[in-house]
């Protein structure tokens, strides 16, 4: 059954990509370290997705070392994940707006210097709904801080691509459908979506959600990718409306 669902996801994604092939570039990359650059170049991947905190949430000296490495890779690095540390909260009673905006500004400034243009927002620890906390209030808080982060992203020509996670990893944004609702409420061109089919399958989301959320989807993580050492991504430099 799961194999059939994976195939359905891939068929819908393939149809969507084909329908937009004349308008937008589609690139296939891998979430791994830049140390695998030569291997990925030899196997034909288009780009590498690195770790935001490892590359940019570091001292200035380490950042400069990382920057030199990033500039030398044969495969470009224009996407990074692992965006926020768990100590930086986006919802709940312990949100520090100045801290959030300051962190995002520093990271995005460095990401721009390194040539990145997409940062994936999973970071379940930063968006965990506290026990007994109002979900409605958390939604309002997330939309507010999402817009603040998107404004910083705009300054540095970065797109935030939020990823829904499954309920074993997150207790707030656990479906692509809900992530899409939040993205529509944030309503900012620099705040979009990552569609991770692994999490969609875990939450039994229908493949049709990809079509519904299509105009907001910038990055797609392929199904069954958790069974191999790397996660495969299909990423666009801009986002079309997906149509089968």
pTM of the model: 0.86
**Torsion, Cα of 30, 161, 210, 242 (10° steps):** -90
Residue 30: pLDDT band with limits 50, 70, 90:
confident
| Domains of the chain and any CATH numbers | 2-236 (3.20.20.150)
* 101-156 tens-digit pLDDT: 999 999 999 999 999 999 999 999 999 999 999 999 999 999 999 999 999 999 99
Backbone angles phi, psi at 90, to 5 degrees: -105, -20
* Residue indicated by tokens 């059954």: 1
* 173-225 tens-digit pLDDT: 999 999 999 999 999 999 999 999 889 999 999 988 988 998 899 888 875 54
Distance, in Å, from the CA atom of 184 to the CA atom of 157, rounded to the nearest integer, reads 20
Whether residue 218 contacts residue 235, with contact meaning beta carbons closer than 8 Å, is answered with yes
What residue spans of 77-168 are helical by DSSP H?
A: 97-113, 135-155
Distance, in Å, from the CA atom of 232 to the CA atom of 244, rounded to the nearest integer, reads 22
pLDDT at 25: 65
Q: Tell whether the model's pLDDT for residue 12 goes beyond 70.
A: no
Burial letters for 128-145: b for 16+ Cβ neighbours within 10 Å, e otherwise?
Answer: bbeeeeeeeebbebbbeb
């Amino acid at each position: 059954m799961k194999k059939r669902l994976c195939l359905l996801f891939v068929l819908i994604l393939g149809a969507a990509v084909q329908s937009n092939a004349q308008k937008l570039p589609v690139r296939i990359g891998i979430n791994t370290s830049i140390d695998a650059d030569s291997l990925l170049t030899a196997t034909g991947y288009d780009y590498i997705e690195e770790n935001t905190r490892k590359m940019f949430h570091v001292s200035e000296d380490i950042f400069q070392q990382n920057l030199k490495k990033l500039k030398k890779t044969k495969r470009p690095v224009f996407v990074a994940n692992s965006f926020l540390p768990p100590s930086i909260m986006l919802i709940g009673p312990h949100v520090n707006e100045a801290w959030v905006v300051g962190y995002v500004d520093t990271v995005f400034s460095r990401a721009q210097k390194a040539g990145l243009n997409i940062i994936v927002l999973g970071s379940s620890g930063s968006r965990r709904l506290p026990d007994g906390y109002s979900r409605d209030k958390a939604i309002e808080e997330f939309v507010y801080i999402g817009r603040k982060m998107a404004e910083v992203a705009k300054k540095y020509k970065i797109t935030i691509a939020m990823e829904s996670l499954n309920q074993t990893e997150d207790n707030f944004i656990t479906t692509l459908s809900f992530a899409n609702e939040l993205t529509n409420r944030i309503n900012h061109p620099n705040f979009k979506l990552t569609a991770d089919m692994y999490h969609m399958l875990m939450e039994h989301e229908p493949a049709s959600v990809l079509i519904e959320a299509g105009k907001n989807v910038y990055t797609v993580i392929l199904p069954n990718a958790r069974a191999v050492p790397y996660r495969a991504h299909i990423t666009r430099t801009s986002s079309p409306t997906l149509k089968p």
